[in-house]
Structure formats: structure tokens, C-alpha cells
Structure 1
Amino acid sequence: MRGARILAALAALLAAAGLVLDWVVGPALAVLAVFVLGVVWGGTVALVATVVLVALPVLVGAAASLAAWAYYALALLLAAGMGQEIGRRLRKIELRQRRLRSNMRAVMRAAQRATRFQDPEELIARVPRLFEQGPARATCVVEFVGDEIRVVSGACNPLPWKELVHEALREGQPAYQEEGPDRAVLVVPMCGGRLFVLEAVAPLDEDERGLVNAFVDVVCLVRQKLIESREAEQFGRLMTALASSRSLKEASEKVIQLLIPLLGASSGAVMIFRQGRFEPLAMVGRIPPEEEALLLSGLPAGWGAIWRSYIQRHPLFIEDYGRFDLRVEEVYQAGIRSLVFVPVSGERRARIVLVMQDERVRTWSEEDRNVLALVARGLGLMAEQFLVRERMDALLRLEREVLGSFIDEAYETLMRYAVRLVPGAEAGSLLVRTDDGRFVYAAALGYDLESLREVAFSLEDVRDAWYNAGEEKWAQGEPRIVSTVEQDIATMSYKTAPVEVIDQAGRVREIKADLCFPIVYQGEVLAVMNLDSFSDPEAFDDESVEAARIFAQQTALLLHEQHYRKLLERAAHTDPLTGLHNRRAFDEDLVTLWKSAQRYGYPLALLVMDLSGFKQINDRFGHAAGDQVLQEVARILNTHTRNGDRIYRWGGDEFAVLLPHTGLAGAVRAARRYAAAIERVCLEDHCVHANIGAASFPEDAQKPEELLKLADSRMYQAKAAGLVVEPRE
């Protein structure tokens, strides 16, 4: 600038000399000189120079007309004005460039300082201090909590610019507003749902706003790198913790223990969906007693936020639980104010939900969400391995239980394990093939088995109308899935069973999805299992089909083994005359059924009966006739027995009946029914009658030998008193 002023002064002197020496060349030089002076020195200097240069020709007596002199003066004035305006603009440009360079240096220094941070949250907290120099009067980082603005860091007051902040958040673009010559506000969206607010000391041009945007981009880039570094470290810690876990429960506990300090949460739980309920795998932290009791009891399908997250297969972040539409009042009253639900999945569909919660209303940041997604993925991959191992262990236990139980109990055990082990199952039923080729219900979970036993199905009913996947897949035991999304399950059921039975006992109108698979051994279908979901039309997937295949293979071997064991046991435990179970079978069954009744808490009754009048038939008509009478009595007892009751011939004319799930009153009614049927057995004018003693556990006896002794004693009391049954009621 100093050089320009010197040149301007020389130009003025040269113009003056030119006017003195030559009136022709001088005016041109004068105009140029005034213009230069206006540019460099400003309008005042140019005006003074104009006056001097106009007066100079007069003073030196230059020969010039009045018109020439006037034109000369006007040219000088115009040159002075143009020089002044151009100079003003050049000085403004220079000032802007200085400010821009200063701001750029400030932004560069701030960006360099940003790269030195190691903690992403500390970086965000210090952003306003990084911008202490430059165009800022005040800066801050803000976020929205509901409809309110919260200052995360910095010292500005964003409330006067709430609409501007809203606009930047809504549009995802910087928002700018000028408020006079010495005040302007720029709002720039940041990472993590936050916004950078800058109150400038003067209006900012486009380049300056671009510098601020670039600074925010640098901060977010540095923050992202820090987050990725932290996530890698956390993932390493997570995998180390999971690799050292010996069970899914232990792995779940370690995950929550890792997350509580990372998220600043108060507690957490891992829930698994089984048999229509969410069961807790792990609970860690400050869980209120009321909520803990609720979780331990199991959360039913369709319940609350956990079901929404599970069925939609997406995380659900609740910042203010008090405003949530599916709020559970017991949980809210227990003090929980913020929750997050994250489905835990590996390569398969999520059946587990990770729950983290806090006792305060809070925002779940982008970093929180990334951490939860990372942890859920790691836990999901590990959970799949644990669940496969759990199924294998369960199949080994299943084998021991089935081979050590009666066939009816084996069916119940198979049903219970199937619903537990096949993902998506909430209930189920087992159809077994009888000797005449029909299929009847042998076990059910979640249904009225006694009513279902009234129904029998033909091969065509089960294979063609219900299974309906083709004979080839039927023979291979291939599972098939039916969902209400595709067809009406109730209509399918009505083709094969009475509506009044299948509606009530079979609950077909409630079924949303069915997984059906034949149980095949060497090409022969031994049974058919149905697993059902009442809550989710998409409950069954490839994982369910795979689990069903493995279960069907194991079940086929067990049922085949049970069948041949049954044949051998039948020969050793069957009375050859009547075909009933013998005394050896009774002694074994009494102990086994007693243990089962004790374990599962149901009653067990015993009837001991003796035939009066039988000796007279033997004496009069001979033992062959007596054998015919015993065979007829056995046939009648079999005809009038209930499903599950077991009839035995002890020897001679003594019989016994074991009645599971039956108390003393039910046993007395059954005794009267048997006695009434036996009275119809006659040979000519000689008829037989029954005297029966009844006893039950736990009403009458606490040990099997006590039960037997009491029932036998009551039989003799009835015989001595001429009664049908003792006790009478």
C-alpha cells in the first residue's frame, strides 16, 4: 500500500509538470493522476488534487479556451469519483481477505487441536473452546430433548434462535441469519444428532460459512475415527468375555456388565422368547424388585415394548418412558424412565432381546446405538452356538428320559421337549399311528388332550388334507410350514376333524402358524408332530425347520426303540390268559407312576378287586369255563377303562387298576362303573360280582406300599360287608 501511495504522488507531480510544459499532454496526465490518487488515497485527496490541477493552468497562463478548461475540470472530477469508488472496493476486498485469512488460521488451529483428543464425548464438549478465536462472539453445541433445546457444551443462549435451530435440524443443512451489521447466527448440523451454533461478530459471507462447515466436518470425522477405535476395543473386550463364557446365561451377564458403564445405564436384562413367553437369561444392575418379579414370571407374547421390538425385528429406543404408548405401569412406577430394546441375532432370526434401562429421561446417542448394535451382533453369533449345544444336550437328556419311561409318559416327554427346543413353538400335539393305520392324539401341550383323544384320523386325512406337501416329502419326513398369512388354518382343520372338538380342544382359530413334520423310521411314518404359534404368523423359519429335522430323527429312533421294548416288555409283563398286564408289571408300574405323581404333583389312585361267585363257576362248570369268564371280565374291563388307566390281573380272580391323575372320589366312581359292567358276566344262572377296595395318593397314603396295603385291606372289608366298593364315597 505504501508503494502505491508513492506512485500516486509521483503521478500527481508529473501531471502538474505536464500542465506547465504542455497544455495538450498535461490534462491527460492530470486525469490519470487524480484517478490514481482517488484509488490509493481516497476521495478527499483526489478532490484537493483536482482543485489544484484545475487552478494551475490559470496560474501559469496556459492558453486554453473556457470550454476546454470546463471539460478539463469535469474530467478531473469524474476521475476523482471513479478512483474513490474503485479504491473503496479494493480496500473492502483487502479487508475481507485479511479477515478470511485470519478466520482460516483460526479454523485450521481449531481443527488441529481437535485431532489431539482421545475421547469422542470430550471432543464434543470442548468444541466451543476450540473456536475461541476467529469470527465467533459465542459458540455452543446443542441438542433437542423432546421439544426443548439443551446446551451440551459452550456458553451461548440458543433460545432466541430456536426456530433457526429447528430449521437446521429438520433440513439437515446449515441455517444462517443476519441480525444487523454486527451480529449473525450460523447453525450447522453435527454428528450424533447435535448442532453447532455460532454467534458471529459480523455477518459471514459464503466462504466464511464454508470454513465453519468444514470445521464441523473435521470434528465429526475425528469423532467418527475415535468411535471406531473405541468400538474395535470394545468388540475385542466383548469377544474375550464371550469366548470365556461357559453358558449363554454367563455370556449374557458379562455383556450387560460391560454395557452398564459404557452407556451410563442403571441396569439391563437379556430375554429369550420360548413357548410364547420372554424368559430372563440374565438380569444385572439396579433392577427394581417389582420389575424383577415381573420379568421372572415371564412376559407373554404381545406384551409391551419388548414385543414390538421382537416382532418388528428392529431396535426400539425410548427416551421418555412416561410418554410411551405401550408403557407398563408397574415398570414406570418402579422408577424406570428410559429403555432400549435390541433384538439379538447372528445369522438367524433374533429370538433374544437385549434390554438396557435407566432411571432418568435421557437421549440414546448415535454412539450408544452403534455400541448396542455391535454388542447385540457379537452376542447373537455366540448365542447361536450356545443354543445349538443346548439342543444337543437336551436330546441326550431326552433319550435317557424316554427310554426310562412308559410309552404314554414318553409321548408327553417328547412333546414337552419339542415345544422347548424348536424356535417359535408355543404349543404342540403328537399324533401316533395305531395298529389299524389310523392316527390318534397321544400327547399335547397347550391343548385339551382328553377331548382330542376322541378324534381319529385316516392316513389320507393327515397326509393329504393336513400335511399337504406331497407323498414324497411325507415319506422323507420333511417339515412343512403353514401360516395364516398364506391360508386359513382353521379351514384346513375342519376338513379332517369335527368343528366342535377342534375349535375348543384344538384352538384352531387361535393358531397363527403351524410347523408339521412326519416322524419316519426306515420309510415308515410312526407319528406326526405339530408345533404351533398363537402370536406370530412368521414364528417358524429355516432355523425352526432345521431343529425340527434333528428332533424328528432322534424321535424316530426313540419311538422305534420304544416300540420293540414294548413288545418284549409286553411278553414279560402280560398275563397269557387274559392279555392284561400281570403282577410283575403292576409292581414296576406302581413304583414308576408313584415317582411321576410325586414329581409333577398329581394324584394317583389304586383299585384292588376280587370276583365273588367265581369259585362256584369253577366248581360247577370246570376250569375251562372259569377261564372263559376271566377272559370276558378282562374284555369288559378293557372296554370300560379310561385312557391312561392300567388294568392288571394279579392271579386267580384278583384284578387291580392304576388310575393316574385321579383322586379318591374319581377312583370310587370308576370302581362302581367297573363293578356294574362285571355284573353282566354270567354263565347260565351263575353271575360274578366284584368287591373293590380303593385308595389314593396323597389323600390316603404317602408311600406306594402303604397305598397297596390300604386298597387291599379295603377290598377285604368290602367283601366281608357285601359291598361293591370301600370306601362307599
Structure 2
Amino acid sequence: MSTRLAENENASLKEIWTQELLDSQPEQECDELVKLAAAICGTPVGLVTLLDERHQWFRSTDWLKRRETPREAAFCAHVVRQSGLLVVTDSFTDPRFASNPLVTNEPGLRFFAGVPLQTVDGDLLGTLSVIDIVPRLLSEEQGHTLEVLGRQVSARLELLLQRTALEQALKEKEEAAAGLRASEELFRAFMNASPFMSYIKDSAGRLLFYNRSFAQRFGVSEYAWLGRTDEQLWPRNLTKSSRIHDLEVMVGDRIIENEEQVRGADGVIRSLRSFKFPCHDSAGNILLAGVAVDVSEEVAHKAELERYHRELEEANNRLRKLAVTDELTGLRNRRAFEERLVMEFSMARRRNRELSVLLLDVDDFKKVNDRWGHAAGDEVLRRLGTILQTTVRLPDLPARYGGEEFVVLLPESGQESALGLAKRVMSRVAIEKWENAPLTISIGMAAMDESLANGYQLVERADEALYAAKRAGKNRVVVYNG
């Protein structure tokens, strides 16, 4: 027979034994066979052992408390070196075992009989043995029965290994399936949360996937168009160019950016900027993936933005000819503000846009100068200028209006938006770590309406609101209400 040890199988059995998992029917039968072997042979102990290159592990009847011994001291190591039954009637008289520590020390073994356990492929698992602390003879019938029981234990152990392997395979399969489901759910959640329209087509142009934004854009359910082609969905004049781009992407294996005109669920034709790129499924089939974003407003406003930029550039050219910067704060000065005010007021009036002004004043600024000097007052103004520069929007214009007064021009901002900015500025001032003492500001706010003849009246209204804030106790925002 083979003397090759089934190390992987033994490791699995040892792990099961260590975790005390032998509680189902096949393992119970092994325990019962061990007890039966001891009863038939008339010994107090029967045991099943597993062997590796250095140790043996075993399950036995309750008489033997030890669960592991070194390989070199194991009687069972001699069993696997020969074919069939090994019987030691008296270890004291057997030169192979007379000095064995299991003989000379606890438990003082005198009698041993064992048969090898092996798989159907001939790989050794261990032994089925019976032992006693007194010399004993084994009859021919008892020996034969022990060999029969050994074959039964081998079959039970191999069944246990097969069942464990099957359970592990099933567990891994379930984990893999759960992982695939989780991946698919994560993919769908990610794609559906995206603000962009996304889709995947096969090489024939059939839709395999599209996300929620895509479905909402065209007024369909998330599965209604699956399997349908461009020819079934779009007008012929749009289908031809789209299909050409799809083929260019898949054949050329490259990304193509394109602007397409598509009619939505509301019947309106919108401009979509799409990015198409190739991808492959698990079988290696080439697919077409695409993402698209609605740029209709961008296209519609492009001409207006270009005109606005030209007007703004012309205004900037005029401003560059002037001394437009306040030296202390780095903000625009009053002259620059008033130039911009005239332009923004005229543009707001012609295009029916919103326009607002904030007028800010440092509360009790004179006390700062009187108590800590003008240098401290200048530092307060510089830091307030920095707060304004880093708080306002890009189109807004903060400026030093004079002394401790500042003004902010807010194009395309109504009362609500301007009030929000005013509160953010006050919050920044409140949390700023001023060098000498806490600082507060008062703000007056005014928004444009049809009754105004020019931008200066808008500033005057903001000034009235500022004085109202001062009278009301300072450190607040007051909106002009007429």
C-alpha cells in the first residue's frame, strides 16, 4: 500500500477535531466504531489517530485525556510503515517500544494493536488502534474485526472530508454569487445616482443597459427600451449619424466626443454632448458604452455669453485706464465701483436682470483708532477687505467706499441672494480672531426695482438701510423696504 501521507486531508480533519465539530451522523459513527473496537478487543481505550510529519492527533474513549503526541513517540507511526495489522502484546519485551516515553512514563502503555486508515486512492490518514496498560493477546477473530472496523472508519473519515469540501465549495459559491449581486447593485446604484445619462449597447446597437437619468430624459421605464435598437427608437436622420459614430468607436477602439440633437419626452429637441467608448463583457464581446450631458442651455446662452464677455472686456479696458484699486485694502476704489455700477445697472435694466448692493460699515471704528491707534484701524480695514474678497462670488464687486465703509455690487442677485451673502460676511467677521477686541459690522441692503432711475439711487437706498441698522443697535443687516 502507499505510504504517502494525505497532509491536506489530515489538516482538515485536525481542524474539525480541534473545533469540536464532530457532532453530525458520520462523526458520531466514527466515535461509535472506536468504542466498538475497544469493546471487541477487550481494551479500555480505542482511538483514531491522524499523522503528519511531526505529530499525531487523536480522538479516543474518555480514559485517555491526551490529544496530541510527537510523531517519533507514536506507536501509530509504525503501523503506517507496514501493511495490515500491527500487534504489540507487551511493549516491555518489544525492543521497538521498550524505551518509548509512552511506555516508560504516563500512561505506561503495554499493549497496542492498530490498523492503517487510508483513502480509496491509497493516501494514509492515520490509524485505528486499541491500547491497554497491561500486556494482552489479540485473537485472530479480534484482529480481523479490527481490520474491518478500520475500513469503516476510513470510509467515514473520507466521507467527512468530502462533505466538508462540498460545504466549503457551496459556501464559496454562495459568497461569489452574493459578491456578484452586490457588485451589480452597486453598479446600478452608482449609475442611477449619476446626473449624466449613461447606456451600454451591444455590437448590433441593441440597448443592454441605461440608467435612471436616461429613462427620465425620454420618459420611459428603466427596462422598457432594453433590447431595442437605434432604428426602433429614433428618427432616420438622427439614427444614421449616431450609428456611424458607434461603429467608429468600436472599430477604432477609441473615445469619440460628439454633440447630438435628441428629442426628449416633452417633444423638445435638446443638445447632448456625448462621450462614447468601447468596453468588453466577460466573454470578450465588444460593447459600446456612452455617457451624455444636456448642454442645451449652454448652447442657447453661448451667443449671449459671448456678447456679455465683449461688453465686459470693453468695460475692463476702460477701468484699466483709471486708478481702480484702494491702496490699503487691495479692493476696488469708489471710482471703480461707480463705473461698474453704471454699466451693471444699464445691463440689468435692458435685460430685466436682478441687481443688489450691500453697504457695510465697521461699528465703533473711531474707538479702535482712539484706543489702539490708526495702525490698528488700518489693519482692521485690510482684514475686512480680505474677508469680502474671499466671501463674495466671482461676478460680485467688493470695494472700499470711503473711510470704514465698504460696498458690494451683486449682479444678477435679488434680495434673497444678497441677504444670504450679507449674513455670510457677518458670520466671517464674527468668527475672525481680531487682534485687540471683537469687531462687528452693520450692513444695509437694497435690491433694484423698476422705480429706480440710476444705480446711485440704489446705493442711496442701501445707505438708508445701513443707518437704520445703526439706529437699531448695530451688528445687524437691514433690508431697504421703502
**What is the TM-score with the length of structure 1 in the denominator?**
0.25
Larger Rg: 1
Higher helix proportion (structure 1 or 2)? 1
Whose RCO is larger (CA < 8 A, sep 6+)?
Answer: 2
